[in-house]
Amino acid sequence: MNETFNLYRLQQLDTQRLQRLKRIKRIDQIIASDIAVQKAQKRIDLAQEQHTEKEGVLEDYINQVSEKTLKLKQTQAKLFSGKISATKELQDLQAESEALTRTIRTLEDKQLDAIHQVEITQAELDDARLAMKNLLNEQATENSVLLGEREKLRLQLPKINSQREALRTQIDDSLLDEYSAIFKNKGGIAVAEVLEGSCKACGFDLSPTDLQQAANPGVIVKCKGCGRILYKS
């Protein structure tokens, strides 16, 4: 059984898989960390905050006008009901009615100004959102190459994963565990090729015995320099 070849092939597939996953992650980071997008989002957030604040001010004025208008109606209803004959009480109601009328006019003026402010902040929010939309559209064009690369890599993963799983079923479990441990501890390289009498991973010069054993497909030989499994084609 060619154990070393299977492990070497598994190493190749694992390397291909990791390379694609890392590149996909990097592409996502490039797209997500765009400074222009971050600035555009900050503009939207600020515009939304200011707009919400102005809407709150407008709502407060609307409520105040509504409250004072209701109170004015109640005061005028008493004033013109004919049920009150005392001059002093009538004068007080008349004064209250006039004061409420002035207050309502003042509040309505402030309400109109608040409406104007809401319109201004709404326009700024709309502009900020439109700017973001245009920016994303521009980026979609600029990043089309990256996105195309990402999609190509993503589509390659299922085939690689399928090949990996099929190959793993052909390798002894204990050997897989050993491979996985070395893979984890050696930066994703568990199997190293023998190149011109040396370990390709670390450059350690191999002894004639190790070279002879590495050429035997049924023997697992590890590099005495780095501890990786050796593969000699």
Is residue 44 scored above 80 in pLDDT? Answer: yes
For helices 87-142 and 144-168, angle between their N-to-C axes, nearest 10 degrees: 70
| pLDDT average, residue stretch 156-182 | 94
Kindly report the three-state secondary structure assignment for every residue of 178-216. HHHHHHHHCCCCCEEEEECCEECCCCCECCHHHHHHHCC
Q: What gap in Å lies between CA 191 and CA 176, rounded to an integer?
A: 12
Q: Return the number of other C-beta atoms located less than 10 Å from residue 105's C-beta.
A: 12
Q: Give φ, ψ of 94 to 5 degrees.
A: -65, -45
**What pLDDT score does 60 carry?**
96
% of the chain surpassing 90 pLDDT:
73
* Entry pTM: 0.55
Q: What gap in Å lies between CA 83 and CA 73, rounded to an integer?
A: 16
% of the chain surpassing 70 pLDDT:
99
**What pLDDT score does 1 carry?**
53
Task: Name the more confident of 52 and 3.
Answer: 52
Q: What gap in Å lies between CA 53 and CA 8, rounded to an integer?
A: 64
pLDDT interval class at 15 (50, 70, 90): very high
| pLDDT average, residue stretch 99-111 | 96
Q: Return the number of other C-beta atoms located less than 10 Å from residue 222's C-beta.
A: 16
pLDDT interval class at 31 (50, 70, 90): confident
The strands making up 191-195's β-sheet, listed across from edge to edge, are: 198-199, 191-195, 229-231
> pLDDT averaged over the chain?
91
Residues 204-217 have pLDDT tens digits of 999 999 999 998 88
Residues 47-94 have pLDDT tens digits of 999 999 999 999 999 999 999 999 999 999 988 888 887 888 889 889
| pLDDT average, residue stretch 3-31 | 92
